[in-house]
Structure 1
């Protein structure tokens, strides 16, 4: 039997890709599974510590979901992995299909604006994805997805204080392969995906690639639009992604890979659902949570393109050398109607641009009693953008002007160097120790232009019909010096930080099937500058997370596996908007400061029980408790963002071998306890809810034809994944008063409704 899951994918849908013969495995070109005895647990390999190891011997909390698992449950985007990993939130953000909101154990980053750094690192083949725009990756030619929970500051560096998500693609087999699949589903879903590879020089040089075109009608529509000739679909999908890889193996010990990828998401901008009636328009609260109104264009785009390269050399059986590099860039013009009415009450057209280059040299040594992962790392990134907060209705009503816009534009650029090493060595035959450390030196420079103009200003000419952007339109400079007053900076603001992040661990093997581990680790999120600064304010220091873990990984027999982790952490120097101007306490102006300290503790349990040769049960449980230790935020911190106190997933998988082929039936129920969308108020609060999903996967006896029928969110639950709140305090009658823009703007964005889709594929 073949089960290819993971600590949590195992703990959630074990036996997902169970096959019952070695012949069937050999006939499945894309299979990543290993030969297993029927009715027994599988052996799972991960690269959580930057080298290949058995999951049961890795002393951290890891979930690894294989390609076969993903296919069998009908997973289509990386956000679906949150169901299989305890205490994990991976959700599509507010305005687009491609922007990621990621939290692990309550640690992450809510605001995707340039300048703010993520708290959960996203990696494709060990290449760091620096921005959340485009990080909702569609699943194409993937080998597995790993979720590493807790700070990963030693081996993965900055911005992994909550953890890391690794998207691992497949190395080529060397044979000619082809895989094509088509999907039809709810809301006129129509997807095609093609992957394949071909040897250019037998056993030496291989070319592979993939292309997917993904389309779906909207879950709702824009009921009103202030502009003519707009596409009025809301929550639709119109995206394509392409990848190419060239691999060269001149000898058994030497490997080269050059890769290219591009994503183009031209789905409409998402409109939010008004949770309160507008005071300024007569449009009612829509009946459908996926319906909206807008005064902005509905176009939106996320463009990403990147190159990556890898050189790997096995000097001998014990020593491996690697060079990993990348060059990536992204561009995202977007329209966010905060108030979601046909009036220009609070509209934000924006553009985001970023590019970054990384280089990493790595030396890995492994012997029976000692292993070492070490390296040098360089990152150079530029993240820029501009947004126009258009308050046109307010400008006309209050000032009698043609409109009103606060324009903010700037860049927040980073250059960093790091050296790291992590060693594991035996103290006795059963007891080992892990010692690791990383030293990072980072410098950031920032420019912010922030000011008011008394008309409606858009990022470029033609953004809305008839608009011509005035030439040389500049707003006052905030960060940096402008000695001659021409609006052009002489020099940007800059600051630098260094950080030493250690890891210490002990691992004790009670027997061949039981490992106990304890560890301390530290991670940091980069220092930065306020991308919305209204004055010349200093940068803020990095956020620091100190984490302690106790865990047990045990296979009780060939049928039962339990992986359990207890954790506790302190989260210091949290970056928030706080009062006090530039930090001197003499004004009420807002500025970005290290204004809070919090702590958390909890437990994660992942259980797999192979009941029979055909039936497997999986359970994944998570619990997080939260404490506020310092709270200088205005408004004050009241809880965790996007983090339920409890998460649970219960799944069953049944395999049936017939004359028609192999059938795998899956069902799972995923529960998320209540949670806040924002940490500073409970205006947007999601009650606890559960999602029921079922699927059936079929594969022909020859292994070339396959199909999947999946139904998700069977009970059609409505649940919040994002929002905006701009309302004033309640009046004497308990009714909300107007907020920014002069209206009661309380907006919700929702997760996917009930969907059903059928995929049919052929491969050789």
Structure 2
């Protein structure tokens, strides 16, 4: 194991930096695109109009003064995208990963802003939406793509129209509206690691032109990329990084008259994939198990079974009162339940095991009154959000407890963080003249939270409930003391101001200031009563351009600068004088800044060839991080902090080649997605992922009658290995450079989670 600047790097892993010649070629291609486009004289070519709902109404992508990427259903199918995490390749300065623990828990960062810890009570930094319904928790937020119209990525704080917890941006999952016809589609996929997927979608008019029923079902199966080499429990499924998921969707749409629309949605996802075991980057001090040969192999002393259940129902009603006014209501209720097993140390001994239960419920109600006339658009409304987020985990330090003469040692932490939020908002755009327009918006939010935390030591090995492992019975009356029972409230005004200039119909320049905030929170791991952390705030300035040239070239560019204030940071800090302590730090530790640029290009080279590229550049760093030392007093340790999951460069170049043959339409696609190096540990970073690139190729076929389709897709063709998550419970040993001080449990716990290896899949579909 080599060590460089306190960052651990494994030889042979993550060393696929983008070759300078390839990067130069991609950049030079983008820079020469305008000249190439001007040389195109094919009058039949014209860029596609892309519709988005970034400002809560349907608009053209090129008319929206927001940095937004939209991937439509056709592009999703042609590129063989199966999960929202793959969207990160096509949106600059964006990270979307199923990073650790389970296949369904999302880590999302946009422009260096996000939230790593998925524990109940913590708020995300990137808002996730399904048909404008907010998904409050990261568990189950790795959405598999089923019956999707498009996926939108809004970059930068969206505090006015989307509210709290969108300080980095928003990810919108937009499902298809029904056509009114009877339709049915089915597809089957086979691929690497015994992948076998089935998807069924359909719709039928119950009353012609009035009432429609839509259904969707997906059954997604795959063997693991690796295995649990050893397990302390018998008869365990040894697959690691496997997939066992079913998803359902029912939709009822009702149009009693032309100006009135109702949509009732129900969705459920049942993910029974195994718990995801991590790769030990350092040999264990307490076991003789070596570092595995494969980064997808692991060891465990916990059950390998895992479950993530999510369920939601929503009702959308829209009434076009007249040609100017629209009244819209969105009502939703969602819940999720997840008993999960995370073996932090990844050995066959109970050194640091954390079985846990997450149980979340939320209700939202939004009312919008929108106004539109020539030269003026207004979106306004009120929003109510109520969430109950609860859970329990048992931090099992069994080996440590036995060394102290006890049967074991468990620190059990449980509780709830319940929140109510009420907001009123309005945002309008006014056309001053043919060239100039202005945008202004304001949102007022009042948040209330109450929290209860139970935290205590049990000198035994315990699990959250009976039957967690075969034969285990949880003792009656086993509880831990209440250490925190408190409530707090905050209120916030988040504005947006912008100006737009359109010298002609194909070119727009814009400049804006926007603000967003992430809600305050109590420490769900508190060991003593402590006040809640205040909300975080992001202030963002942007200037940008959206342009179409000669109907064949689209260039959208943005420059941005943001200040991230009152950042909340929570860490587990071992106490060298008390091995059983679980010390916490929760607070608004300071401030970070980021400046960057984003460029997105689409070029229709000819009637068959479409070339696209994007590049994101960002310089994000902490400017202040305050801590207190008993001897030295207040200290700024910002030099010890890293902005995680944020490469300085993200870039993708790709193509679609479409040709018609006597057998049907053939579409060849390919892209190369590059991410420069990035840190994975926020405080005293020990893991840095080197730059790497993913090469993806695919070919699709559509029959002349439109009924049959097939797609062959190869992803990560060069089989790159790259880190997407970690657990780090060690510290550098200042007395012995290159050595480490063991953390909780007394072992060298430095664990890596990796992205998918090379895979090849074949999908065959039929539609009628």
Structure 1 length-normalised TM: 0.92
2:139 aligned counterpart, secondary structure: coil
**Equivalent residue runs for 1:66-215 within 5 Å:** 66-215=72-221
Distance in 1 (CA, whole Å) between partners of 2:43 and 2:744 is 63
1:349 aligned counterpart, secondary structure: strand
1:657 aligns with 2:660: yes
**Equivalent residue runs for 1:178-327 within 5 Å:** 178-327=184-333
Post-superposition Cα deviations, 1:365-412, rounded to whole Å, max 9, x if no partner, equal 111111100011000100000000000001101x10000000000101
Post-superposition Cα deviations, 1:180-206, rounded to whole Å, max 9, x if no partner, equal 000000000000000000000111011
The equivalent position to 1:443 in structure 2, one of 448, 470, 478, is: 448
**Equivalent residue runs for 1:2-17 within 5 Å:** none
Change in CA separation of 1:588 and 1:348 when aligned onto 2, cut-off 3 Å: closer
* C-alpha contact 1:41 1:558 (8 A) present in aligned 2: yes
The equivalent position to 1:724 in structure 2, one of 719, 727, 735, is: 727
2:193 aligned counterpart, secondary structure: helix
1:571 aligns with 2:594: no
* C-alpha contact 1:39 1:614 (8 A) present in aligned 2: no
Post-superposition Cα deviations, 1:269-315, rounded to whole Å, max 9, x if no partner, equal 00000000111111111101000000000010000111000110111
* C-alpha contact 1:183 1:190 (8 A) present in aligned 2: yes
2:745 aligned counterpart, secondary structure: coil
CA RMSD of aligned residues (A): 1.8
1:449, CA displacement in angstroms?
0.3
Post-superposition Cα deviations, 1:319-378, rounded to whole Å, max 9, x if no partner, equal 111000101111000000000000000000000000000000001111111110001100
1:596, CA displacement in angstroms?
1.4
Post-superposition Cα deviations, 1:539-588, rounded to whole Å, max 9, x if no partner, equal 111000000000011112111111000000000000013899xxxxxx99
The equivalent position to 1:516 in structure 2, one of 509, 512, 531, is: 509
Distance in 2 (CA, whole Å) between partners of 1:638 and 1:665 is 44
1:627, CA displacement in angstroms?
3.2
Distance in 1 (CA, whole Å) between partners of 2:365 and 2:736 is 60
Distance in 2 (CA, whole Å) between partners of 1:239 and 1:579 is 33
The equivalent position to 1:541 in structure 2, one of 507, 525, 534, is: 534
1:590, CA displacement in angstroms?
3.5
1:428, CA displacement in angstroms?
2.0
1:81 aligned counterpart, secondary structure: helix
Distance in 1 (CA, whole Å) between partners of 2:111 and 2:390 is 29
**Equivalent residue runs for 1:583-594 within 5 Å:** 590-594=584-588
**Equivalent residue runs for 1:604-753 within 5 Å:** 604-632=598-626, 637-730=640-733, 731-732=735-736, 734-753=738-757
2:557 aligned counterpart, secondary structure: strand
Distance in 2 (CA, whole Å) between partners of 1:365 and 1:477 is 51
1:420 aligns with 2:425: yes
Q: Specify the alignment match of 1:431 in structure 2.
A: 436
1:633, CA displacement in angstroms?
5.0
1:632 aligned counterpart, secondary structure: strand
* C-alpha contact 1:728 1:744 (8 A) present in aligned 2: no
* C-alpha contact 2:56 2:379 (8 A) present in aligned 1: yes
Distance in 2 (CA, whole Å) between partners of 1:322 and 1:312 is 4
Distance in 1 (CA, whole Å) between partners of 2:584 and 2:193 is 44
Distance in 2 (CA, whole Å) between partners of 1:561 and 1:94 is 37
* C-alpha contact 1:274 1:748 (8 A) present in aligned 2: yes
For structure 1, which segment, 312-321 or 238-247, has the greater mean C-alpha deviation from structure 2 after superposition? Answer: 312-321
Distance in 1 (CA, whole Å) between partners of 2:126 and 2:571 is 24
2:127 aligned counterpart, secondary structure: strand
* C-alpha contact 2:421 2:446 (8 A) present in aligned 1: yes
Distance in 2 (CA, whole Å) between partners of 1:37 and 1:751 is 43
* Structure 2: segments with no counterpart, 5+ residues: 1-26, 31-41, 574-580, 629-636
* C-alpha contact 1:358 1:380 (8 A) present in aligned 2: yes
Distance in 2 (CA, whole Å) between partners of 1:202 and 1:548 is 49
* Structure 1: segments with no counterpart, 5+ residues: 1-10, 15-35, 481-492, 581-586
* C-alpha contact 1:327 1:355 (8 A) present in aligned 2: yes
Change in CA separation of 1:135 and 1:37 when aligned onto 2, cut-off 3 Å: farther
